[in-house]
Amino acid sequence: MKKLSILLLSAGFTLAQNYYVENVIGKVTAQLGSSEIWQEVKGGEVLPPYSTISTDKNSSAILTKENIIFNLRESAAVTVDNIKKMTIDDLLLALAMEDMMNAPRKKEEPKSKSTQVYGNPNKSEGTSGISNGDFGLMRLNGAKQLGENGFKESAIVAAKEIYRKYPETKKMISHRIYFANLLYEKGLFEEAYAEFSSFKDYEMNEKNKGEIGSKLELLSKKLINK
């Protein structure tokens, strides 16, 4: 466990680089680095590692780093460290770390204060005037946009982090189905099966029930024939 944590932390420090705000439409705010203060950002500004950027309705921001261009659309939020390409091995390591962080802790164990690969664990991310539930949804919107822009592995990791930090997002089944399907697309059938199975604990509409049931049946066959 300790070795895994060191590997992930080392990867995070190696890959951490600044993002640049190329263009802004409407109102866009950000927490720069480990700061908890939200401030409005304009084109040309620098977003250091661990920054979280958020867009209002009818707003957007184009972020760049080396050969990466990412357009964060309206009503979304993303931590810039999640905007990156990951291999399947990177994804599996990150998922293992999330499982460790979600594991029940003994009462006598102090909470870890070390910095995570995907951000500062002590930073409060909720924006002023926005409830945790609404900001969790904005974070899910941002994670979905990662997937839609080719950062599928990173989108999965971001979603897992969001479920942990904003537990109310676990009830947003329509959004969660999207990320579970990304696991399926990546051939991680056991992980996808576990994710789809976890949805039974929450209320959902008939359409979602049908889609989840069909996917569980398909995944069962794949796992049996594996």
94 pLDDT tier (thresholds 50, 70, 90)? very high
pTM for the whole thing? 0.83
The answer to whether 159 touches 176, Cβ cutoff 8 Å, is yes
Instruction: Find, among 5, 153, 183, 162, the residue nearest to 84 by Cα.
Output: 153
Q: What value does the mean pLDDT of the chain take?
A: 86
Does residue 12 register a pLDDT over 90? no
How high is the pLDDT of residue 103? 77
Mean pLDDT of 202-209: 94
Each domain of the chain, given as residue ranges in start order, spans: 2-102+116-171
The answer to whether 217 touches 187, Cβ cutoff 8 Å, is no
> Is 167 or 113 the better-scoring residue by pLDDT?
167
> Of 1-15, 88-102, 118-132, where does mean pLDDT reach its minimum?
1-15
166 pLDDT tier (thresholds 50, 70, 90)? very high
pLDDT digits (tens, 9 = 90+) for 32-87: 999 999 999 999 999 999 999 999 999 999 999 988 999 999 999 999 999 999 99
- Other CB atoms within 10 Å distance of the CB of residue 177: 19
Q: Cα(first)–Cα(last) distance of the chain, in Å?
A: 28
How high is the pLDDT of residue 2? 44
How high is the pLDDT of residue 13? 40
Cα–Cα distance list, 108 to 97, 98, 100, 157, 203 (Å):
21, 21, 17, 29, 35
